[in-house]
Amino acid sequence: MPETNNKMMPETTGRALQPGWNRLPWTVLLAPAITLVAVLASWLTPKLTADPFTLSFVPTVLVLLLASMHVWMLLRVDLLSFASPVFMAIGGYTLALVAMHQTTNAIALIIACFIIPAVIALPLGLVLLRLRGTYFALVTFVLAQVIVLVITIAKGPLGGSSGISGIPPAQLGDIQFGAAGDLVRYSSCVAAVGALVAAVVSVRWRRHFAAIEENEPLASSLGLRPWLFKTVAFVSAAGIAGLAGLILINQLGNANPDSFQPFSGVNHVASAVIGGPSIIGPAVGALILAWLTHEFASNAQYSQLLLGAALIGVVLFARRGITGLVRDAALLVWRRGHRAATPTGRPSAASGTWDTPAPRQAEASGAPETAATPLAERIRPGSEVVLQVSDLGKRFGGVAAVDGISFELRAGDVLGVIGPNGAGKTTLINMVSGAMRPSTGTVSLDGARLRSSSPYSMSRNGVARSYQQTSVFSSVTVRENLARGKAFSKRWIPDEELDRLLQITGLADRMDDRAGDMPYGLQKLLGLVLPLATAPKVVLLDEPAAGLEVSERPRVDDLVEWAIEQGTGVLIVEHDMDLMRRICPRLLVMDTGRELASGTPGDVLAKPEVVTAYLGVTEDDDAEELTGTAEPASRPVEHNEIVEVRSHE
């Protein structure tokens, strides 16, 4: 166990990035385990399995379990699917056709009923997964209606509305899994396969799924391909639902469109939602649903009434379902017992051994020469041009938001872009980062023309960006945020470098804090660390200092310095003139989409048109005063403040 070494190791990021199996809920393997126990128990207790109630009840629960798992799996990537009947029908009819015409081998049937729905789901997924949210839910709902119509119309091979009857039961050697204990055992085995697939997929890619569910734009800007993992979830969920169809049709002995009512998908959604996001959620939900159906077999209205009420109750009062409620209650009891020992129930932030004075303070006392020489003057850009922007323009209708902007950025260079609000700075960044297609002009990275493309491929090509607003995975710890970045990015920096970034930002001693609980400034800094740690060739920083306290702003200097040491080209948009003067050897001033001026900060800020654009006044004394600010020593502080206040209007 790597964990044991950690006590000896000082604060290396090796520990910081431990995936931490201890953090992984042990319950992930519970569902398959329960099913296996059920299988074993059914062998050990022949009397029980001879009971007609068990005979019908167990397969019913297992069908519900797998169908709910289908929904549960897709909920993990933030998709709501009513398509469980679709893939159950495909699985069920696969069983019917294979058993009638090919083989009744039990294992072959399991494989066929998993693979065929999954294979059909693949092209479907490629098309449907372009949709999100509401639309995906609608499409799956429509799909459930289509499948029934298709079966009804396909009278030849599928038997139309009367279906296929007389399907031979699955067999293995001499055992027929058509009735009694054998049916229960076979159904349990099939369910175990489905549960195992669900567990393996959702554990293997838990970070990817959780990141897509929580903040898909951030995840893809770190290099994750959302469609790939949604496809993984969709395809495996389809196979799992196919196995549900297998159990159902093997139990019934005939396949009929009535067994796959479009609205049964609603029950499966209900069961998955009521159970909750824990992996045993579908099992709990399926048991509740099966119990309701059984308890009120003769009065379906009451089970439906309770189900509806439970759905509303869960969405309003228990977002994490029944398993979430139980977990919260258990935590509450546990914390009460341990209140004296650890009040939070989690290792507190201070328990880390990180030794972090704010780096600027340390530097201010220990290395005065860096403070004396601004970063801007120490920058020695490399010779290669990493980013070339020529004649870039963007029109929205008749308005030219950006018009004929050209510049180049060398490795290890910093270019600052300033301008009043609405000057087109963010549009420029959006075009350079590929998020927006330019109307005119080109963007080239390392000499190769970049076309508007997905955030993940930009990230893989080495273009990273930060956002004006904070963008982090706020429900998890800083450590997990970084672990996700490492899992998604192919370019992720080595641990020692990450350590430096964490020291610079002061995040090193907040590793175990939930990102969303940290003060805004730290969240914002984490939002800067994440793109920087993907070792980009070019990083686009959109107002990195906005919202930071004045005392936190020097950390941005240090981050930029770190980036240029790595040979990254930095394009920075910012309103904090002090900061820009410190770190930018060159400035590009934009106004109404066009370039107003460019050159060294001293020259640029001396130009009267720049002053006019920024302050909206033309009096000479104003111009003089802003010019004066080019020399930090003689600069009156208020004017810097004016510029900043105006820019935030």
CB of 68 to another protein, least distance (A): 14
Q: Where are the alpha helices (DSSP H) in 407-462?
A: 425-432, 455-461
| Residue 146 found at the interface with another protein (CB under 8 A) | yes
| Residue 9 found at the interface with another protein (CB under 8 A) | no
| Residue 234 found at the interface with another protein (CB under 8 A) | no
From candidates 302, 334, 396, 520, binder to another protein by CB under 8 A: 302
- Mapping DSSP to helix (H, G, I), strand (E, B) and coil, where does residue 226 land? helix
| Element containing residue 301 per DSSP (H, E) | helix 300-317
Tokens of 496: 């020692």
From candidates 138, 175, 179, 333, binder to another protein by CB under 8 A: 138
From candidates 311, 349, 630, 642, binder to another protein by CB under 8 A: 311
Q: Where are the beta strands (DSSP E) in 340-462?
A: 385-396, 399-410, 414-418, 440-445, 448-450
Using an 8 Å Cβ cutoff, are 500 and 359 in contact?
Answer: no
Nearer to another protein, 274 or 589 (CB): 274
Nearer to another protein, 152 or 627 (CB): 152
How far are the Cα atoms of 269, 299, 332 from residue 129, in angstroms, in the given order? 18, 39, 39
Between CA 393 and CA 573 the distance in angstroms is 18
Nearer to another protein, 267 or 426 (CB): 267
- Mapping DSSP to helix (H, G, I), strand (E, B) and coil, where does residue 394 land? strand
Nearer to another protein, 175 or 309 (CB): 309
CB of 312 to another protein, least distance (A): 4
Between CA 111 and CA 119 the distance in angstroms is 12
20: Cα within 13 Å, side-chain hemisphere = 18
Contacts of the segment 397-405: beta carbons below 8 A, 24+ positions apart: 400/592, 400/593, 401/427, 401/593, 402/427, 402/428, 402/431, 402/438, 402/590, 402/593, 403/592, 403/593, 403/594, 404/440, 404/441, 404/594, 404/595, 405/441, 405/588, 405/590, 405/593, 405/594, 405/595
| Residue 474 found at the interface with another protein (CB under 8 A) | no
| Residue 175 found at the interface with another protein (CB under 8 A) | no
Nearer to another protein, 130 or 449 (CB): 130
| Residue 437 found at the interface with another protein (CB under 8 A) | no
CB of 319 to another protein, least distance (A): 8
Using an 8 Å Cβ cutoff, are 430 and 381 in contact?
Answer: no
CB of 519 to another protein, least distance (A): 24
**Binding residues among 116-135 for another protein as defined by CB under 8 A:** 127-128, 130-135
Between CA 623 and CA 621 the distance in angstroms is 5
- Check the CA dihedral 503-504-510-512 and report its sign: negative
Pairing of strands 440-445, 448-450: antiparallel
**Binding residues among 273-292 for another protein as defined by CB under 8 A:** 273
At 203, the amino acid letter reads V
Sole window of 147-155, 358-366, 444-452, 606-614 interacting with another protein (rule: CB under 8 A): 147-155
From candidates 54, 304, 454, 600, binder to another protein by CB under 8 A: 304
| Residue 270 found at the interface with another protein (CB under 8 A) | yes
The number of angstroms, rounded, from the C-alpha of 67 to the middle of its chain's C-alpha atoms is 24
| Residue 298 found at the interface with another protein (CB under 8 A) | no
| Residue 149 found at the interface with another protein (CB under 8 A) | yes
| Residue 145 found at the interface with another protein (CB under 8 A) | yes
| Residue 372 found at the interface with another protein (CB under 8 A) | no
CB of 344 to another protein, least distance (A): 28
From candidates 301, 373, 383, 634, binder to another protein by CB under 8 A: 301
Between CA 60 and CA 54 the distance in angstroms is 10
Between CA 110 and CA 191 the distance in angstroms is 10
| Residue 141 found at the interface with another protein (CB under 8 A) | yes
From candidates 67, 89, 143, 526, binder to another protein by CB under 8 A: 143
DSSP string for 558-592: HHHHHHHHTT-EEEEE-S-HHHHHHH-SEEEEEET
Nearer to another protein, 315 or 350 (CB): 315
CB of 453 to another protein, least distance (A): 20
| Residue 83 found at the interface with another protein (CB under 8 A) | no
| Residue 399 found at the interface with another protein (CB under 8 A) | no
| Residue 309 found at the interface with another protein (CB under 8 A) | yes
Between CA 190 and CA 333 the distance in angstroms is 37
Nearer to another protein, 63 or 137 (CB): 137
Q: Report DSSP state, residue 465.
A: E
| Residue 312 found at the interface with another protein (CB under 8 A) | yes
Between CA 86 and CA 128 the distance in angstroms is 14
Sole window of 43-51, 201-209, 232-240, 258-266 interacting with another protein (rule: CB under 8 A): 258-266
List interacting residues with another protein (CB under 8 A): 75, 78, 80, 127-128, 130-135, 137-139, 141-143, 145-146, 149-150, 152-153, 262-263, 266, 269-270, 273, 299-302, 304-305, 307-312, 315-316
